[in-house]
Amino acid sequence: MPNNLIRGEYKNDLEQLGIKGQVKEIIYLYFYIKNNEEQEKCSIQYICKFNKNGYVTEEMNYKTGDLLEWKIKYKYNIKNDLIEMKKYGPNEKMIEYLEFLPKTNNKMKAIIHKDEHNNMWSQEDVPFFHKGKKIDRMSWYAPINSYYILDYKYNTNRKITEITKKANNIIYLRWTIKYDENGNKIEEIQYLPDRIIVEKKIFTFNNENNMSNEQIYRLRKRSGKDQLILISRCAYKYKYWK
């Protein structure tokens, strides 16, 4: 799923995701791995739909079988700016609402996050791309009345290479991202402050140079030791506009 906070830096959502071609729909099939064996039945199915301009219009997440867990719908203005996002539960009742306010001074836009009762839950102030320099995101979280900041670092090809999450100048989490010579994301690692790896993702690609497979490793206790264990795999399927 595209990152709402950095949408303004890319031509469209497909470009942000690194997807090539006129993709209409991506189907993500997640399989859990237990005792080094992959489960035969898909445990989660996530579907992401795009319009002909390359922007996400709808997301759907299904548990085992055809049980819809949640659905998200997106609304755009005539300039293809994202202005609204609504999330629905399995009973089609809206459970989340995000309003994307216009940017001011061509630098920043606000994301207002509300619950089903129209109460503001959080607000995020989002700067736009600064050509290779780090981007700061500041978020206010209503339940604890506190702020945290996400710092983004980019390479010369406008690809995110590092993200840090911090509050009160204390780093809580850090992510590093690696790419191949074609600009495809091949590795993503999540660290705790003491540089302990808690999650690692490995990505491979198909003949169209689109992501086809994802392996997810997480920190688990095995034989009294902390180890990165392969816990799931995600297969990607694509549908294209004709």
Q: In the predicted model, is pLDDT for residue 179 greater than 60?
A: yes
Q: What is the CATH number of the domain that holds 180?
A: 2.40.160
Instruction: Dump pLDDT digits (tens) for 8-64.
Output: 567 888 988 889 999 999 999 999 888 778 877 777 889 999 999 999 999 999 987
Distance in Å from the first CA to the final CA of the chain: 23
Q: What is the pLDDT of residues 97-106, one digit of tens each?
A: 777 666 554 4
Query: pLDDT of 144-178, one tens digit each?
Result: 445 567 787 888 887 889 988 887 778 889 999 99
Round to whole Å and give the CA distance between 13 and 1.
8
> Which secondary-structure segment (H or E) carries 116?
none
pLDDT at residue 145, as a whole number? 47
Retrieve residue 169's tokens: 């100048």
Distances (CA, A) of 233 to 146, 173, 200, 212: 35, 23, 12, 11
Kind and range of the H or E run holding 64: none
Structural domain for 81, as ranges: 4-240
In whole angstroms, give the CA distance from residue 9 to residue 108. Answer: 12
Measured in whole angstroms, how far is the alpha carbon of residue 185 from the centre of its chain?
13
* Number of domain units in the chain: 1
Label residue 92 by pLDDT band (50, 70, 90). Answer: confident
Provide the pLDDT for residue 85. Answer: 82
